[in-house]
Amino acid sequence: MTAETRSVNGRAWERYGGHHLRRGTVMQPASDIRWGFGSAGPGTRVLGPLAGRRVLDLGCGTGRYAAHLARHHHAHVTGVESAPAQHERAVSSYGSIPGLTLVQADAVDYLQETAPFDVIISVHGALCFTPPAVLLPGIFTALRPGGLLAVSVLHTNYLGEGPAETVEPSPQRLQIAGHDPDTVYRWVLEPALWCRLLGEHGLTVTTIDRIDSEVDGDPTSCRLIRATRAPADGRDLR
């Protein structure tokens, strides 16, 4: 099931990106990180000072947030996206921004070979669409001791369904304008389950923020999870 869900998700995001490339969809620069759907949540401030720090946006999609952190927060940002069409959209919009590197690669493969980062973010990105047991070991390896992980995940979907109490993916819709929704598989898990999984892979959850949609009638709820990798000498280096 692991390989199958990853293949399904990869094909779906490639179709999504290809659709917007053909359509010439114009990307609007981000003014802040929006951790939720229909609501922003606490924005970039939860990441702390970023100037001069190495930041990884894991599953960066069109690169909006990676570009924002490089341009306005003066971080050295790498955005990794597996879908070639989505990566092409990111490069065409933000490829010339100083301090920003955009990489087309599988997240699991990239994490195994990169130098450590001070901060890793995933805004409804790779951690949502990749089996946690496959991705989390790489995140631990790629996050320096004392570093910060900040990820936004679904708590319930647009129907108000979820979260799951077992580590199983659930089919969700990926809306493409003018077409029937595509199917993707996401890990929509109880916060306690996320805490256990992160803890099993050497990461300690410090904060979980609830971010509900601000759109009337939309029951979608998200969680912003922040975790750290303990420094080697036990000191908090953030």
Task: Answer yes or no: is 149 within a domain.
Answer: yes
- Give the CATH number of the domain where residue 200 resides: 3.40.50.150
Per-residue pLDDT of the chain (238 residues; tens, 9 = 90+): 577 889 999 999 999 999 999 999 988 899 999 999 877 799 999 999 999 999 999 999 999 999 999 999 999 999 999 999 999 999 999 999 999 999 999 999 999 999 999 999 999 999 999 999 999 999 999 999 999 999 999 999 888 999 999 999 999 999 887 788 889 999 999 999 999 999 999 999 999 999 998 888 889 999 999 999 987 654 443 3
Contact 158, 220 (CB under 8 A): yes
Closest of 238, 39, 19 to residue 150, by C-alpha: 238
Q: Which residue has the tokens 């129907």?
A: 159
CA distance 222 to 219: 10
Q: List the domain range (segments joined by +) for residue 139.
A: 2-23+36-229
Q: How does DSSP classify residue 66?
A: H
Q: Which residue has the tokens 């490069």?
A: 91
Task: Answer yes or no: is 29 within a domain.
Answer: no
Task: Answer yes or no: is 73 within a domain.
Answer: yes
Q: Which residue has the tokens 């990489």?
A: 103
| Secondary structure element (H or E) that encloses residue 58, with its range | strand 54-58
Contacts of 131 (CB under 8 A, 6+ apart): 2, 5, 6, 167, 169, 187
What pTM was estimated for this model as a whole? 0.94
Task: Answer yes or no: is 237 within a domain.
Answer: no
Say how many domains are in the chain.
Answer: 1
Task: Answer yes or no: is 198 within a domain.
Answer: yes
CA distance 202 to 190: 19
Tokens of 7: 């293949």
Task: Answer yes or no: is 238 within a domain.
Answer: no
- Residue 87, number of CB atoms within 10 A of its CB: 24
Task: Answer yes or no: is 28 within a domain.
Answer: no
Task: Answer yes or no: is 234 within a domain.
Answer: no
